[in-house]
């Protein structure tokens, strides 16, 4: 946390995030999940020693063939829906609930639900989830984690890195964000620039990342 908080303050400043709303979101999701959440020990067991982290890039459908080993899969938001359409189950879904929520909620997976100032009204959906844990970008609480990371994709990488897994990355594109209704493509590009920077920091610190690519 000593390393993360100064970094996040830079992000807050760049995007003019409200700390008050971040606190409100974190406290709300804490209240919503109560004592019904996965422990860090349970997450470590699911993730194991080798894991795929899958992003929801425009290239994902083409790159799905890269997921060839029977390792756990951590999917960023809508990537889980795309994977399911191709017969691949996500073990963990990292989401701030701004994706294809009706279809996401149908999936059988552990959900890592992120609370921030812009998704407060969507957070009550966490009560519909059986297996879940919560994350925040600010100071954690006893039942709300902060593993680092900013977007769903790089947050998934940070979670896997926290448990020391070898991380095989599929479906990431930092230059060309997938369009989302009502979302600014330019702001998304700025967020992805931070995502790339934060993942690079993990690599510099010794996390083992394998960038899977088509031959």
Q: Does the CA dihedral 168-171-173-174 come out positive or negative?
A: negative
Q: Which residues contact 207 (CB under 8 A, 6 or more apart)?
A: 161, 167
Percent of the chain past pLDDT 70, that is, above it, reads 99
Which ranges constitute the DSSP H helices of the chain? 4-15, 19-33, 40-47, 60-63, 79-85, 101-104, 152-162, 185-204
State the chain's mean pLDDT as an integer.
Answer: 95
Q: What is the mean pLDDT of residues 31-36?
A: 98
Question: For the segment 9-18, what is each residue's pLDDT rounded down to a tens digit?
Answer: 999 999 999 9
pLDDT at 112 over 90: yes
Predicted confidence (pLDDT) per residue in 120-150, tens digit: 999 999 999 999 999 999 999 999 999 999 9
Whether residue 160 has pLDDT greater than 90? yes
pLDDT in tens, 34-46: 999 999 999 999 9
Mean pLDDT of 40-65: 96
Residue 214 has pLDDT above 90, yes or no: no
For the four alpha carbons of 151, 154, 159 and 162, in that order, the dihedral sign comes to negative
**C-alpha closest to that of 187 among 14, 10, 6, 3:** 14
Cβ atoms of residues 20 and 116 within 8 Å: no
Beta-ladder partners of 171: none
* Least confident among 61-65, 95-99, 179-183, 201-205: 179-183
Please say if the pLDDT value at position 183 is more than 90: no
Q: What is the percent of the chain where pLDDT is above 90?
A: 91
Q: What's the pLDDT score for residue 215? A: 66
Residue 24's φ and ψ, nearest 5 degrees, are -60, -45
Rounded Cα gap, residues 42 and 63, in angstroms: 29
Check pLDDT > 90 for residue 213: no
């Amino acid at each position: 946390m000593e390393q993360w908080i100064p970094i996040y303050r830079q992000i807050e400043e760049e995007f003019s995030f409200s700390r008050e709303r971040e606190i409100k979101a974190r406290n709300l999701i804490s209240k919503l999940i109560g004592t019904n959440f996965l422990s860090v020990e349970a997450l470590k067991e699911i993730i194991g020693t080798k894991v795929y982290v899958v992003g929801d890039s425009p290239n994902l459908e083409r790159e799905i063939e890269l997921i060839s080993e029977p390792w756990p899969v951590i999917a960023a938001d809508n990537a889980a829906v795309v994977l399911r359409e191709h017969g691949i189950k996500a073990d963990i879904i990292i989401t701030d609930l701004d994706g294809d929520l009706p279809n996401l909620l149908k999936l059988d997976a552990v959900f890592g639900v992120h609370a921030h100032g812009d998704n407060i009204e969507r957070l009550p959906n966490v009560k519909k989830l059986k297996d879940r844990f919560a994350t925040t970008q600010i100071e954690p609480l006893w039942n709300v984690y902060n593993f680092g990371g900013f977007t769903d994709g790089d947050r998934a990488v940070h979670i896997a890195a926290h448990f020391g897994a070898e991380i095989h990355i599929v479906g990431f594109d930092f230059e060309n964000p997938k369009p989302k209704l009502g979302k600014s493509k330019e702001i998304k590009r700025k967020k992805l620039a931070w995502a790339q920077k934060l993942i690079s920091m993990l690599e510099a610190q010794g996390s083992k990342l394998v960038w899977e690519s088509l031959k």
